[in-house]
């Protein structure tokens, strides 16, 4: 397995106004994750109320640690 082949892909959408975050996991399928990200960006446009990011990591726990503000968590709460 080449370096980076074990990276899981997560599409994270944060509704800033409502304080809600949704996560779609695509596992190792980067192409599907990228396609979903591009479609989500088209649907949202230039909204200031919704942040959409495509992130890669070994687990959702890592995403929650590195991007804790998307989940309404403090970094010290989730990161060990």
pLDDT, one tens digit per residue, over 13-36 is: 999 889 899 999 999 999 999 999
* Per-residue pLDDT, 77: 66
Plot region of 72 (φ>0 → left; ψ -120 to 50 → alpha; else → beta):
left
> Above 60 in pLDDT, residue 1?
no
Q: Which two structure tokens, joined as six digits, stand for 64?
A: 């929650």
The answer to whether the beta carbons of residues 68 and 79 sit under 8 Å apart is: yes
CA distance 67 to 52: 12
**pTM of the predicted structure, to 2 decimals:** 0.84
CA distance 69 to 16: 10
Beta bridge partners of 23: 12
The answer to whether the beta carbons of residues 61 and 8 sit under 8 Å apart is: no
């Amino acid at each position: 397995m080449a370096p980076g082949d074990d990276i899981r892909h997560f599409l994270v959408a944060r509704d800033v106004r409502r304080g809600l975050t949704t996560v779609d996991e695509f596992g190792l399928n980067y192409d599907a994750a990228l396609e979903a990200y591009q479609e989500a960006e088209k649907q949202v446009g230039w909204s200031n109320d919704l942040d959409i990011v495509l992130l890669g990591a070994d687990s959702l726990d890592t995403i929650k640690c590195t991007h804790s503000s998307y989940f309404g968590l403090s970094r010290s709460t989730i990161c060990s």
